[in-house]
Chains A and B, each alone.
Chain A
Amino acid sequence: MLTGDKPKYFGLILAIAFSTFLMSHQMSIFVGLLDRTRSQIRDVQDARIWVMDPKTQYVDEVRALNYQSVYFVRGVDGVEWAAPLFKGIARAKGADGNFRNTILMGVDDATLTGLPQTFLAGDARSLLAPRAIAIDRVGYNYFFPGQPYAIGQELELGPLVMRIAAIVDASPPFVNLPVIYARYSEAIQTVGREPRQLSFILVKGRAGLDEGELCRRISERTGLKAMRADDFGRDTIWYYIRNTGIPINFGITISIALLVGALVSGQTFSLFILENMRYFGALKAIGVTNIRIVLMILLQAVVVFLIGYSLGISWTALFFELTKDNLELRGFRLLPEIMLITGGLVFSVVTAATVLSIRRMVVVDPAVVFRG
Chain B
Amino acid sequence: MEMPLQTDTLAVRCRGVHKSFGEGATRLHVLRGVDFEARFGQMTFLLGPSGSGKTTLLSIIAGLLHHDEGSVTVLGRDLRKLRNGEGALFRLYNIGFVFQQFNLIPALTAAENAAVPLLAAGVPRRQALERARAMLADLGMAHRADVLPNKLSGGEQQRVAFARALIQNPKLVICDEPTSALDGPTGRHVMELLRKIAVQPDRAVVVVTHDARILDFADCVAEISDGVIHKVTCVEEEKEKC
Contact = CB atoms under 8 A, between A and B. Distances in A.
Interface stretch (B22-30, B88-96, B223-231): B88-96
A287 B106 contact: no
B221 to A, nearest CB: 19
A286 interface: yes
A163 interface: no
B20 interface: no
A137 interface: no
28 contacts: A2-B107, A3-B107, A4-B106, A283-B116, A285-B62, A285-B64, A286-B91, A286-B116, A286-B164, A287-B89, A287-B117, A287-B120, A288-B92, A288-B116, A288-B120, A289-B85, A289-B120, A365-B64, A367-B64, A367-B65, A369-B97, A369-B176, A370-B55, A370-B58, A370-B59, A370-B176, A370-B208, A372-B177
B217 interface: no
Which DSSP category, helix, strand, loop or mixed, fits chain B's interface? mixed
Interface string A170-196: 000000000000000000000000000
Given A287-B117, A287-B120, A370-B59, A4 B91 contact: no
Contacts of A285: 62, 64, 91, 97, 99
Secondary structure call for the A interface: helix
B152 interface: no
A36 interface: no
Most chain B CB inside 10 Å of its own CB: which residue of A1, A5, A283, A370: A370
Contact of B88 (A5, A278, A287, A372): A287
Contacts of B95: 287
Interface in A29-71: none
B103 interface: yes
B137 interface: no
Shortest beta-carbon contacts, A-B, top 4: A287-B92, A4-B107, A282-B103, A4-B106
A333 interface: no
A303 to B, nearest CB: 12
Contacts of B116: 283, 286, 288
B73 interface: no
Given A279-B103, A282-B99, A369-B99, A287 B93 contact: yes
A286 B65 contact: no
A266 B93 CA distance: 35
B147 interface: no
A289 B88 CA distance: 6
Nearest to B90: A287
Given A278-B103, A282-B99, A288 B55 contact: no
A279 B99 CA distance: 11
Contacts, number: 78
Interface string B191-218: 0000000000000000010000000000
A365 B64 CA distance: 8
Given A4-B107, A369-B99, A370-B176, A286 B64 contact: no
Contacts of B64: 285, 365-367, 370
A272 to B, nearest CB: 11
Contacts of A367: 55, 59, 62, 64-65
A285 B108 CA distance: 18
Contacts of A279: 103, 105-106
A366 B97 CA distance: 12
A371 interface: yes
A286 B59 contact: no
Given A287-B117, A292-B120, A366-B64, A4 B105 contact: yes
B92 A1 contact: no
Contacts of B107: 1-5
B100 interface: yes
Nearest to A291: B85
A284 interface: yes
Contacts of A372: 100-101, 177
Contacts of B88: 284, 287-289
A371 to B, nearest CB: 6
- Most chain A beta-carbon neighbours within 10 Å: one of B103, B148, B177: B103
Nearest to B161: A282
